[in-house]
Amino acid sequence: MAKIELQAIRKTFDSTEILKGIDLAIEDGEFVALIGPSGCGKSTLLRIIAGLEPQSSGEVRIDGAQVDGIRPSARNLAMVFQSYALYPHLSVFDNIAVPLRMRRHSTLARMPLVGRLHPARAATERGIREEVERVAAQLELSGFLKRKPGQLSGGQRQRVAVGRAIVRQPVGFLFDEPLSNLDAKLRVHMRAELAQLHRQLRATFVYVTHDQAEAMTMSSRIAVMIEGHIVQVGTPAEVYDNPQDIRVAEFVGSPKINALPGVIREDGGVEVLGWPLGLSTPAAAGRCSVCVRPERMELSSGPSAISGTVLHLENLGAEAFVHIKVERIEMPLLARISPDRQLPAIGSAIQFGFSTTAVRIFDAAGKRIEVTAAARSERIREKAVG
Amino acid sequence: MADALTATTILAGRGAAAVTPARDNSRSWPALAMVAPAIVLMGLLLLGPLLGVIALSFTDYQLGSPRFAWIGFANYEEMLADRVFWISLRNTLTYVAIVVPTAVALGLAVALLIESGSSLRAWYRTIYFLPVMATLIAMSIVWEFMLHPQFGLVNGLLHSVGLEGRSWLQDRGTALYALCVIGVWQALGFNMVLFLAGLVSIPRPLYDAAEIDGAHGAWARFRLVTWPMLGPTTVFVVVITGIRSFQVFDTVHVLTKGGPSKSSEVLIHTMYIEGFEFFRSGYGAALTVVFLVFVLLLTLVKSSLANRGVHYA
């Protein structure tokens, strides 16, 4: 098992810089998810770790040893691809056996016909059979060993790809959006299976995805990549609760975080739509974004801080989303509420507020601003009511 | 070529019709009406002439003659006893046996080389494809000059490295092989284009997976990914090259006329001589039927391979 370190990795494709200096240390046995919008360079970074793509500058170290110029298979990392990349002409057994055969048979023994006459071949082949069968049993594939990938369902193909990865007992696993070709229900199921696999193998997992739900549910740490930079690294809870950049706040969490236009006054107080929030900041005066997660929005029937009209309702059974149109804010705001209570009618006027602890404030450049509760700490809702 | 391909389609169609359970007639006649135009055209343009040729092969009809008589299998009996027929059949099979593997292997090799290189790809593609676009009759004349015993380019080159040239097309021992070389040269470009198309459609992640799995080196990658994934393309290329090689005529007619002393006589050339120079249409038709049987066999091999053995991604 291995520690993977990335130092100042840069990658340029024909004058376009895809990766702009990536530093990341992945500890032994850790499950790190690389997430980010498409085109942020996360797959390129994974391919650089695997050795399928050379970096333009910077270093990759596995267990302290620099691996630049070392072939992918010699790095002893396994990779699971989005398309699974199973060899369609080989049976499930042969697909899983490929990495072992490549490593253990000499070139001569792999020859089409002559190979069968090779003296050591039979013994090696017996060993390979045992290991493939063990892995197949572990992944519940024993009944499908003779089938071709084309005769399997999406989830089974996924498991064959995982089998091909674990059979060689690599020091680390690289996953490139492995669940995005599955339907929603199966994806949830495979999420649990992969997390369990990680606990079982205790191997280092690097997992690339654009689906923040996968990252949140499986990984021990998340690295959020945006436009070629790692903007924030932290546990799922940290990244969700304490985003250091407005792009992180907006990318992580579904539905998206609400951003309200705010102003930092000369005295350090923060206002949103003319209402003082009761927070103060040492940051320079100017415009800012005041962000609140949908579940922290508090609707009230009585008069409250901010008023708007209900634009749309989504009742998902376990939760409901109220889309609220507020004057002077272009995008409708979202509030997540329990459907147990009476849902407001579409088109009706509504008031809402939020606790000061729910607020995350970002400056005009999108960086997080630290705020402290002002001396006269009170909730905006109470203030309005009072 | 087209004849043979469609002929199998028709056979397949018949098979399908036979297994479909009889539906009630009121519902099946609109369906019949809708396929009628295609059936009429196919009958008129393909099946009709085919049956005509088969019928003709049982007559003693001569081109331009006012009458003919049914003579049963006499044409076929004559053919089986004819030394020229056996020579031309053996020559045709030799030609196919040399041209098909060589043109397929070289086409694949050139396609792999072009695909692996990064510069001048379009240029190489054009160069290798030129012979396919050029008129074979005109190119045959160019080859005739190149192979000329006294002032031909080939003998000139051989001479400059100290080797003895030959009169390639006039020598009984080399005429057929010289034609094979021209055949390979002509088929190479077409095969290359088909293989290039096949190569481009192999999913990139398979090569990445092969690299991760430890398939280093060009040979291991070729064995694990390229060759199996090219299976369908290869079957198609082999059959097309096979059928076109069976049809070899232009070069033979322009360069050797089947000579010297029948050493480069091939099936279609014999057919042409019998049918259009000796005007023995009935006998020519019998030769055509034999030719069609071979082409049909090749097509059947292709469709049976396509249905099992070969992987289609």
Does residue A42 lie within any of the structural domains?
yes
Helix H or strand E segment including B294: helix B281-307
Same domain, A361 and A303: yes
Same domain, A97 and A220: yes
CB atoms near residue B268 (< 10 Å): 19
> How do A269-272 and A275-280 pair as beta strands?
antiparallel
Number of domains observed in the structure of chain A: 2
B92 touches B100 (CB < 8 A): no
Q: Is the dihedral of CA A243, A246, A251, A255 positive or negative?
A: positive
Query: Which residues of B make CB contacts under 8 Å with A?
Result: 203, 205-206, 208-209, 211-216, 219-220, 223-225, 228-229, 231, 311, 313
Q: What is the DSSP letter of A219?
A: -
Does residue A247 lie within any of the structural domains?
no
Q: Domain of A152? A: 4-241
- Which residues of B fall within a CB distance of 8 Å from A148? 311
Give the C-alpha separation, B110 to B21, whole Å. Answer: 50
Identify which of A134, A80, A72, A133 has the alpha carbon closest to the alpha carbon of residue A103: A72
Tell me if A98 and B224 make a contact (CB, 8 A cut-off).
yes
Write the burial class of residue A196 (CB in 10 Å: 0-12 exposed, 13-18 middle, 19+ buried). exposed
Exposure string of A115-127, with b = 16+ CB inside 10 Å and e = fewer, is: eeebeebeebbee
Mutate to test the interface with B, among A47, A49, A52 (most CBs of B within 10 A): A52
CB atoms near residue B28 (< 10 Å): 12
Tell me if B212 and A112 make a contact (CB, 8 A cut-off).
no
Give the C-alpha separation, A373 to A254, whole Å. Answer: 27
Does residue A377 lie within any of the structural domains?
yes
Write the burial class of residue A367 (CB in 10 Å: 0-12 exposed, 13-18 middle, 19+ buried). exposed
Does residue A252 lie within any of the structural domains?
no
Q: Which of A73, A79, A86 is nearest residue B214 as measured by Cβ atoms?
A: A73
Boundary-marking domain end, from A187, A206, A241: A241
CA distance B216 to chain A (A): 9
Per-residue pLDDT reduced to its tens digit, B184-215: 988 888 899 999 999 988 888 899 999 888 88
A91 touches A144 (CB < 8 A): no
Same domain, A44 and A131: yes
Look up the CATH number of the domain holding residue A197. Answer: 3.40.50.300
CA distance B26 to chain A (A): 39
Same domain, A235 and A262: no
Q: Which residue has the tokens 């098992």?
A: A1
How far CA A244 is from CA of A222, A249, A316, A361, in Å, comes to: 13, 8, 30, 10
Tell me if B209 and A102 make a contact (CB, 8 A cut-off).
no
Strand-pairing partners, residue A234, are A222
- Which residues of A fall within a CB distance of 8 Å from B206? 85, 87
Q: Which of B213, B229, B313 is nearest residue A102 as measured by Cβ atoms?
A: B213
Phi, psi of A379 (to 5 degrees): -85, 140
CA distance B241 to chain A (A): 25
- Which residues of B fall within a CB distance of 8 Å from A102? 213-215, 220
Q: Which residue has the tokens 């198609």?
A: B236
Strand-pairing partners, residue A34, are A208, A223
Give the C-alpha separation, A162 to A255, whole Å. Answer: 31
Same domain, A55 and A172: yes
- Which residues of A fall within a CB distance of 8 Å from B223? 110, 112
- Which residues of A fall within a CB distance of 8 Å from B313? 88
Give the DSSP letter string of B54-110: HHHTTB---TT-S---B-TTHHHHHHHH-HHHHHHHHHHHHHHHHHHHHHHHHHHHH
Same domain, A91 and A165: yes
Task: Supply the pLDDT for residue B30.
Answer: 86
Same domain, A236 and A280: no
Does residue A312 lie within any of the structural domains?
yes
Identify which of B289, B35, B213 has the alpha carbon closest to the alpha carbon of residue A76: B213
Does residue A289 lie within any of the structural domains?
yes
Does residue A37 lie within any of the structural domains?
yes
Identify which of B146, B133, B156 has the alpha carbon closest to the alpha carbon of residue B182: B146
Task: Supply the pLDDT for residue B4.
Answer: 42
Q: How many residues does chain B have?
A: 313
* Segments making up each domain of chain B, as ranges: 1-56, 74-306
Q: What's the half-sphere exposure (Cβ side, CA atoms, 13 Å) at A188?
A: 2
- Mean pLDDT score across all residues of chain B: 82
Same domain, A190 and A296: no
Task: Supply the pLDDT for residue A330.
Answer: 85
Tell me if B214 and A99 make a contact (CB, 8 A cut-off).
yes
**Prior bond of A255 cis (ω within 30°):** yes
How far CA A370 is from CA of A272, A281, A282, A283, in Å, comes to: 16, 6, 8, 8
Same domain, A126 and A160: yes
Tell me if A164 and B213 make a contact (CB, 8 A cut-off).
yes
Same domain, A261 and A217: no
Using CA atoms in the order A129, A135, A139, A142, what is the torsion angle rounded to 10 degrees? 20
Q: Which residue of chain B is at minimal alpha-carbon distance from A103?
A: B214
Q: Which of B216, B219, B311 is nearest residue A89 as measured by Cβ atoms?
A: B311
Q: Which of A72, A86, A87 is nearest residue B211 as measured by Cβ atoms?
A: A72
Task: Supply the pLDDT for residue B191.
Answer: 92
CA distance B197 to chain A (A): 19
Look up the CATH number of the domain holding residue A345. Answer: 2.40.50.140
Task: Supply the pLDDT for residue B106.
Answer: 93
Q: Is the dihedral of CA A362, A253, A194, A83 positive or negative?
A: negative
Same domain, A62 and A210: yes
Boundary-marking domain end, from A215, A241, A267: A241
What letter represents residue A19's amino acid?
Answer: L
What letter represents residue B40's amino acid?
Answer: V
Tell me if A79 and B231 make a contact (CB, 8 A cut-off).
no
Q: What is the DSSP letter of B23?
A: P
Which residues in chain B land under pLDDT 50? 1-20, 312-313
* pTM of structure: 0.77
CA distance B208 to chain A (A): 7
What letter represents residue A253's amino acid?
Answer: G
Boundary-marking domain end, from A241, A267, A301: A241
Give the C-alpha separation, B190 to B183, whole Å. Answer: 12
* Intra-chain end-to-end CA distance of chain B, in Å: 26
Does residue A250 lie within any of the structural domains?
no
Task: Encode chain A (386 residues) as per-residue pLDDT tens digits.
Answer: 688 989 888 999 888 888 888 899 999 989 999 998 888 888 899 999 988 888 898 889 988 888 888 888 888 888 999 888 899 888 899 899 888 888 887 776 677 666 667 777 788 888 888 888 988 888 888 888 888 888 888 888 888 999 999 888 888 899 998 888 888 888 888 888 889 889 988 889 999 998 888 888 889 999 999 988 899 999 999 999 999 999 999 999 888 899 988 888 888 888 888 788 888 888 888 888 999 999 998 887 555 578 889 999 998 888 999 999 988 888 899 999 888 888 888 888 888 888 888 889 998 888 888 888 765 544 444 444 43
Strand-pairing partners, residue B91, are none
Query: Which residues of A make CB contacts under 8 Å with B?
Result: 47, 50, 52, 71-73, 77-79, 81-83, 85-90, 98-99, 102-103, 107, 110, 112, 148, 164, 168
CA distance A102 to chain B (A): 6
Q: Which residue of chain B is at minimal alpha-carbon distance from A164?
A: B213
A255 touches A332 (CB < 8 A): no
* CATH class of the domain defined by B74-306: mainly alpha
Give the C-alpha separation, B274 to B281, whole Å. Answer: 7
Identify which of A119, A87, A95 has the alpha carbon closest to the alpha carbon of residue A106: A119
Tell me if A71 and B213 make a contact (CB, 8 A cut-off).
no
Tell me if A85 and B216 make a contact (CB, 8 A cut-off).
no
Give the C-alpha separation, B202 to B221, whole Å. Answer: 12
